[in-house]
Amino acid sequence: MAKTSQSLRRAALLASAVAVLGSLTACDTAHRTETASRQLSATGGATRCHTSELRASVGRMDPGAGQRNLPVVLTNVSSRSCTLHGHPGAAFVDASGRRLGPDPERTPDAPATVTLAPGETAWAGLRYASPEVSGARAATPAALLVTPPDERESLRVRWTADEVPAGGNAASVYLTALAAGSGP
């Protein structure tokens, strides 16, 4: 009987120790969460920009030596600061939404995180060889679909520039990583 009583005491002590450790872990986790929250509040708490918080536009074309260069601009239209990191996605489409040519290739430049306060902009450079110079099959898009980094939803921008490469060996289109501002 003494052995059973001793086993019960050990089990009770073990259960108490587990309960105390569990509450200490919960307190530590709560403290870490509260500290992280305070740090985010102190720095403005900027988190990733979502498609619904942005507006896309295409800036003025800067032609040069058979090249077409255009800034693709994302503007923060929300009431909070948010961040963008990396390359946006892009695709030329016709009036029915069918893709024209290959999606732009990402340039190998190292992306930086851009923090956008409400109303601020970031841009990526869209570059391609003029189809009349390169010999690529050409098409005139109705729009450019722009997808912010880490998002699935696209923003549709009416295309007002000239033809773009839509096929053939010289149909490469390039897109740089996002940088602060509205273009070069």
pLDDT band, very low/low/confident/very high, at 66 (cuts 50, 70, 90):
confident
Exposed, middle or buried, 56 (CB in 10 Å: 0-12/13-18/19+)?
A: buried
Give the C-alpha separation, 74 to 118, whole Å: 12
Residues 95-144 have pLDDT tens digits of 999 999 888 999 999 999 999 999 999 999 999 998 888 888 899 999 99
Report the DSSP beta bridge partners of residue 164.
139
Strands 89-93 and 143-147: antiparallel
- Pick one of 1.20.140, 3.40.50, 2.60.40, 3.30.230 as the CATH number of 47-180: 2.60.40
Give the C-alpha separation, 138 to 4, whole Å: 88
Residues 143-183 have pLDDT tens digits of 999 999 999 999 999 999 889 998 877 778 999 999 999 98
Give the C-alpha separation, 49 to 91, whole Å: 20
Exposed, middle or buried, 17 (CB in 10 Å: 0-12/13-18/19+)?
A: exposed
Coil, strand or helix: which one is 6?
A: helix
Give the C-alpha separation, 129 to 121, whole Å: 26
Q: What global pTM score does this model have?
A: 0.74
Exposed, middle or buried, 39 (CB in 10 Å: 0-12/13-18/19+)?
A: exposed
Nearest Cα neighbor of 165 from 136, 140, 141, 145 is 136
What is the chain's alpha carbon radius of gyration, rounded to the nearest angstrom? 27
